[in-house]
Structures are given as structure tokens and as C-alpha cells.
Amino acid sequence: MKESVVKDKIGTLLPPSLTAEQQGNVAVLRLNRPQKRNALDDETILGIETFFSAPPEDARCVLLCGEGVHFSAGLDLTELKERDVTQGIAHSSLWHRAFERVQFGKVPVVAVLHGAVVGGGLELAAAAHVRVAEHSAYYALPEGSRGIYVGGGGSVRLPRLIGVARMMDMILTGRTYSAEEGQAMGLTTYITEPGKGFAKGLELAQHIATNAPLTNFAVMQALPRTAESDPTTGYAMEALMSSIAQADPEAKARLRDFLEKRGRKVTRD
């Protein structure tokens, strides 16, 4: 990273384009380039990789958000330069590695989305496990009009959320979707009024942080792979993960609390 890298509020070495703090057992990571619509440059991507490779030890969930009007307008196009094929592959691999740390890291990630969630910003949001969008959020993949192609894992993650045909349409035509349309598609998990996204995201992150760590691990690491495997392999993996989770001492204590009327029952508010 550049010499401008400094320690943030929780002692992690991050570039100025990122800030981090902790609220209880929830770590909050903010994209901090509002003057650039939180465009993602290489320094920021390296910072994301650093943070998610070693989140605070007592953090049980991460809340990812953007400073200013937008979540992220995607790749910082001012960084584009002449690259040969080898250099291009290496650059894309950097993004893949960083976003892999988000999706398959140590703790679940809740993303709060508002304004532009575009290009690489959408690829980053797709790596999160829960997405809270304010009504101002909009989704787009403008790569087609710019003569480029997705390079941050979008062609892998987004079709699983919205389907191949819809992603093709977004790139080919530049179609933009609202937060509400995104909810119907599978991009938006929760939707809130403007200015309410952070509070909702923090509420969800705090709830997720109370889950048994082994359950969260199973949801993050096993569930996506089980869903993509053949049925026979999937059933075997599910049985194995289920048996490991229920044998955990914390799971036994929680089940005992429920059976002895101390546990929380499922209700609909």
C-alpha cells in the first residue's frame, strides 16, 4: 500500500479511502471517498482485503457502508491504463481475492446501500451476505458502454442472484434498476427510507452477531457450496455440517434454554 496508509480507530492499517470503527461486537467499515462517489481504486481494494483478512478479534459481524451520497460508483476509471493481458488478469485477480475475503471471510457482512451501486460497487455489494438498500439506491452495470467487462467477480456472483439473462441485459443496454426493483430481483434484501439504512443495517448486524459462531460459519461457508453441488454431495455436506453444529457446546446450551422455557420463541411482530 501507499505511505498514506494509517491506523484507523480500531488499529487496522487502512488507506484514507476507508475508515473503520467498532460498535460493540459489530465492526463498521466505510468507503470514504465521497468526492469520488466512493469509486474503488487499487489502494481501496487492497485495504478491503486487509480488513476482511483480519477483522477485529471480537467482531461477530461487519457492517459495510459508504460515506456521502453514494455507496460506490464502481471502478475508479482514472486508474485505467494500458495493460497487456497478463497485467489485466493480475488486476482482476486482486479484486477477486479481496471480495473473496468479504464473502468467505471470518464473519457475516451486512451492506448498507444508497445512491449509486454501480459496476464494481455492485460487485462488492454482491459479496455481502445481507443487503439493506435505501430508496435512493440504484443498480447498474455500465461496463458495456465503457468498452470494458466486469472484473470483480460479478459474472460469478450476480447471475446467482438475478440470473444470466438479466445480467446480460444490464450490461448490453445499460439498464438501471431501483432499490424496489432490486428487491424483486434478489439484490435488495431489506429496503428502508432515505437516511434509515445505517440504523437498519446495524440492527441486523447486531442480531446476526448474537448467533452461535458455528451457525454463522455454516451459513457463510457451507451453504453456498452446498447449494451449488449435486444433490448427493449436498445432502452429505448438510448432514455433516448439521451434526457438527448441534454437537457444539454453545448449541447444546441454547437448546437447553429453549426446552426449559428460557429461549426466545419465533413470533411475527
Note if 123 is an active site residue: yes
Give 135's DSSP letter. Answer: T
Region for residue 110 given its phi and psi (left: phi exceeds 0; alpha: psi -120 to 50; beta: otherwise): beta
72/5 Cα distance (integer angstroms): 21
229/53 Cα distance (integer angstroms): 26
Q: Which of 123, 134, 180, 228 is catalytic?
A: 123
139/113 Cα distance (integer angstroms): 10
Beta carbons of 167 and 143 less than 8 angstroms apart: no
Q: Are strands 109-113 and 116-118 parallel, antiparallel or unpaired?
A: unpaired
Note if 143 is an active site residue: yes
Q: What is the maximum span of the chain, computed from C-alpha positions, in angstroms?
A: 66
Give 220's DSSP letter. Answer: I
N- to C-terminal Cα distance for the chain?
48
CA contacts within 13 A on the Cβ side of 259: 6
Q: Which of 43, 49, 134, 143 is catalytic?
A: 143
Beta carbons of 22 and 9 less than 8 angstroms apart: yes
Could you give the residue numbers annotated as active site? 123, 143
